[in-house]
Amino acid sequence: MAESRPDLAGKRLVLGLSGGIACYKSAELLRLLVKAGASVRVVMTESAQRFITPVTMQALSGQPVTCDTWDAAEPNGMAHINLTREADAVLIAPASADLMARLAQGRADDLLSLLCLARPIDRCPLLLAPDMNCEMWAHPATQRNAAQLRADGCLLLGPDHGEQACGEFGDGRMLEPEALLEDLVAALSPKPLAGERVLITAGPTFEAIDPVRGLTNRSSGKMGFALARAAREAGAEVTLVAGPVHLPTPRGVRRIDVQSAEQMYAAVLPLAAAHRVFVATAAVADWRPAALADHKIKKSGEQPSALALTENPDILAAVAALPQPPYCVGFAAETQNLAAHAREKLRRKKLPLVVGNLGPATFGRDDNALLLVDAAGEQSLPAGGGRADKLTLARQLVAEIARRLATAAA
């Protein structure tokens, strides 16, 4: 498999920690940021140092941790200037209620708040991961501060809902490190689909024979879920209609779970016309049992009669035939003659683009190879052949779809 470029390769980040019990999560967040390729400078408030030591964060970042406005290690004595001039973003996790209040007021009485005020706001975004008791988060003062920070251009990541260290339950938990990483990558990604709505199907369908058995296929849904994440990173509002799979929902994506092809059809058709793009990644069963047994069909000494089948609705063809269809992208999972079968699907369903792949070589795997087929010709992803992880391929495919939309609109 071709090695993918880390999500944050070449990015320079400032990770700020204010006082909060979630500082223990910040160590894992820092590890993930570094693993994703980022160069990270850590800045800690005095309160943060009561929860976790600078030594821990220095060991994980491989760089000095700065805690004092008057740090003598800075040759010009201006840490608040130096830290942000080359930074691609400032992420404060955890962001306490007190820090949010000071930032909303434009105060600069410690290094962390000072560098936030001094950062070049046009090219160094500020992201905050709130962490506080649920009553503190719900307080009108905190909500006013949050609204002011959003109005000033800050991006608030969270908070999460759940059990808190104090034993209470509600909104106020800092997001988990994996979720913060996904949100940060999305925030720093180009936005070629900003303002667009994208509808995606993913996974297999399950066509019941009786209450315990059914017809299905080996599709894992991984490619469709990767496309949903990539489209969200590109700025789109994404709805994901998923068959029976066990995959976490990508951050910021609306998910609708279905089982059968008929249920997927019923979920997709009312939504399709309101979306700019429809990507039919799901491996929808072509056929279903003509009748569903009320009870489990018991094994007996006699061979059961042949299973009668009836054809399922063609979701992609129905969407493509709408009076004002979205830009439709079909997927063709084949076992042979990939280009020929993909081109026949393109013609038969009157689509602008079909993405072909070899089903047995991709179902359940984390990597893939795609063949893009349109009226003009064929194009391989990744470029030059070979294979790549599905998220890398999804990002490349989303970029290609955005390029085609822009060309059509020009």
**Contact criterion met (CB below 8 Å) for 66 and 79:** yes
Rounded Cα gap, residues 361 and 379, in angstroms? 19
Two tokens, residue 272: 């399709």
Quote the strand ranges of 313-369, DSSP E. 327-334, 353-358, 367-368
Candidate list 67, 124, 166, 328, residue with the active-site label: 166
Rounded Cα gap, residues 210 and 366, in angstroms? 32
Q: Closest Cα partner for 45 from 31, 66, 59?
A: 66
**DSSP assignment string, 104-139:** HHT---SHHHHHHHHS-TTTS-EEEEE---HHHHHS
Cis check for the bond before 382: say yes or no (omega within 30 of 0): yes
Two tokens, residue 291: 């009748």
Tell me the three state secondary structure of residue 328. strand
Two tokens, residue 45: 């408030």
Rounded Cα gap, residues 327 and 347, in angstroms? 15
Phi, then psi, of 188 in degrees rounded to 5: -95, 0
Beta strands at 287-289 and 309-311: parallel, antiparallel or unpaired: antiparallel
Buried b (16+ CB within 10 A) or exposed e, 283-295: bbbeebbeeeeee
For CA atoms 75, 76, 82, 85, give the dihedral sign: negative
67 part of the active site: no
CB count in 10 Å sphere of residue 183: 21
Helix (H) or strand (E) holding 345: helix 338-348
DSSP β-bridge partners for residue 125 = none
Which residues are catalytic, by number? Answer: 166
